Chains A and B, each alone.
Chain A
Amino acid sequence: MTLTPVAPTIRSRPVYAPLAAVPGHLHLVIADGEGAEAVTDMLERAPDAAGFLALTHFLYCPGPTGTDLSDRLQALGAMQFFRAPTIPALLPRLQRVLTDAHMGSRFYLAGSEGLIGQAERDIMATGFPFAAIQKEHRGSTLRRVQCVHCKGITENVATDPFQCSHCGLNLFVRDHYSRRLAAFQGVNIDAEDPGEVPESVVRFT
Chain B
Amino acid sequence: MSGVAKLAVRVADVVPVNDLVTRFRFEARDGSLLPAFSGGAHTVVEMDDHGTRRLNPYSLMSDPGDRSGYEISVRRDDAGRGGSLFMHRHVRPGMEMVLSHPVNLFGLDSRARKYLMIAGGIGITPFLSQIAQLSRTGGRFELHYAARNPALGSYMDRLQAAHPDRVQCYFDDDGQQIDLARVLSRQPIGTHLYVCGPKGMIAWVLGTAERMGWPPQSLHSEEFIAPPVGQPFTVELAASGHTLNVGAAQSLLEAIEASGVDAPYLCRGGACGQCETKVIRCDGQLLHNDHWLTPEEQAEGRKIMPCVSRAAGGTLVIDR
The chain A residues found within 8 Å of chain B, CB to CB, are: 22-25, 98, 101-106, 123-124, 126-129, 131-132
Contact = CB atoms under 8 A, between A and B. Distances in A.
B114 interface: yes
Contacts of B187: 102-103
A123 B113 CA distance: 12
B31 interface: no
Contacts of A129: 111, 215, 217-218
A101 B188 CA distance: 6
A126 B189 contact: yes
Given A126-B189, A129-B218, 18 more contacts: A23-B210, A23-B213, A24-B212, A25-B185, A25-B212, A25-B213, A102-B187, A103-B189, A103-B193, A103-B218, A106-B213, A106-B215, A123-B189, A127-B111, A127-B114, A127-B191, A128-B189, A128-B218
Contacts of A128: 189-190, 215, 218
B192 interface: yes
Nearest to B211: A23
Contacts of A132: 215-218
Contact of B184 (A103, A124, A127, A131): A103
A122 B210 CA distance: 23
Interface in B174-191: 184-191
A105 B218 contact: no
Contact of A105 (B111, B213, B216): B213
A127 B185 contact: no
A85 B272 CA distance: 50
Contacts of A104: 184-185, 212-214
Q: Which 6 pairs from chain A and chain B are nearest by CB? A: A127-B190, A132-B215, A24-B213, A129-B217, A126-B190, A127-B113
A98 B190 CA distance: 10
Contacts of A127: 109, 111-114, 189-192
